[in-house]
Amino acid sequence: MTATPAGMTYAQYLGLDELLSAQRPLSGLHDEMLFIVIHQTMELWMKEMLHEVDYAIRLIGEDSFAPAYKALARVGRIQSVMTLSWDVLSTLTPVDYLAFRDVLGTSSGFQSAQFRELEFRLGLKDPAFLSQHTAGGADRHKLERALEQPSLRDAAAAALERAGFDISDGTGPAWLDVYRRADDLFELYQLAEKLVDLDDALAMWRHKHVLTVERIIGNKRGTGGSAGASYLRSTLDKRLFPELWSLRTDL
């Protein structure tokens, strides 16, 4: 615990000087402020999500399922807010955005280290994305560490193993069994449904991102050098727990 400074103010406690001086539009145009604020807001929410996901992974590792669900429920509410916030950005028209797009240079959401860290911590560990971050830099270090740490996906697989399931051929058959014996294996069944919630909400966020991108820049290339909307569409089928989706067909 850190001692509270005498007479501490609201602004001091929240670091508002730093936070509120970090919006620095380059174009002088009205709409760039919204563009900056929406990105910063999402980055703050991702920070909180990483905090909760890390906690949930630890709790699942201890078979403390109820507190883990609480953390995952919080993540779910944050995801809803993040998905809804695309509607605020949709008030930016193509004309508004094109007026300042040039000032972004080569910067792009592709370089969001927190988004990638979140994917890694959830279980989508694709080392190809490391190349977006300078070797030896702090972001690269964090991402390399996240690749090594157990993900939420790993934690769920380990929980199945501790419950006596053989997962040497993957977790698919074990999860199917959990759903078939949902009454007896309620904890794991409930865990699985929380994981599907998370997967569902992440897909919704991706979906609203690509829709917003199409609405604002159509099929123009991205500032990060990708093909733009068609690249983003190719990410829509990513699932953290594909087994939990496919078992629905087999039930």
Judged by the rule CB under 6 A, the positions of this chain that interact with ligand HEM are 38-39, 42, 89, 97, 108-110, 112, 115, 209, 213, 216-217, 222-226, 228, 231-232, 235
Taking the complex as a whole, how short is the minimal distance between the CB of residue 245 and ligand HEM, in angstroms? 19
Cα–Cα distance between 208 and 215 in angstroms, integer?
10
Nearer to ligand HEM, 129 or 165 (CB): 129
Identify which of 198, 197, 202, 213 has the alpha carbon closest to the alpha carbon of residue 86: 213
Taking the complex as a whole, how short is the minimal distance between the CB of residue 212 and ligand HEM, in angstroms? 6
Q: Which residue type is seen at 62? A: E
Taking the complex as a whole, how short is the minimal distance between the CB of residue 161 and ligand HEM, in angstroms? 30
Taking the complex as a whole, how short is the minimal distance between the CB of residue 21 and ligand HEM, in angstroms? 20
Nearer to ligand HEM, 68 or 228 (CB): 228
Taking the complex as a whole, how short is the minimal distance between the CB of residue 114 and ligand HEM, in angstroms? 8
- Measured from each CB, the residue nearest to ligand HEM is 222
Nearer to ligand HEM, 115 or 165 (CB): 115
Nearer to ligand HEM, 130 or 167 (CB): 130
CA distances from 136 to 61, 75, 131 (A): 31, 30, 11
Nearer to ligand HEM, 101 or 180 (CB): 101
Nearer to ligand HEM, 92 or 174 (CB): 92
Taking the complex as a whole, how short is the minimal distance between the CB of residue 112 and ligand HEM, in angstroms? 4
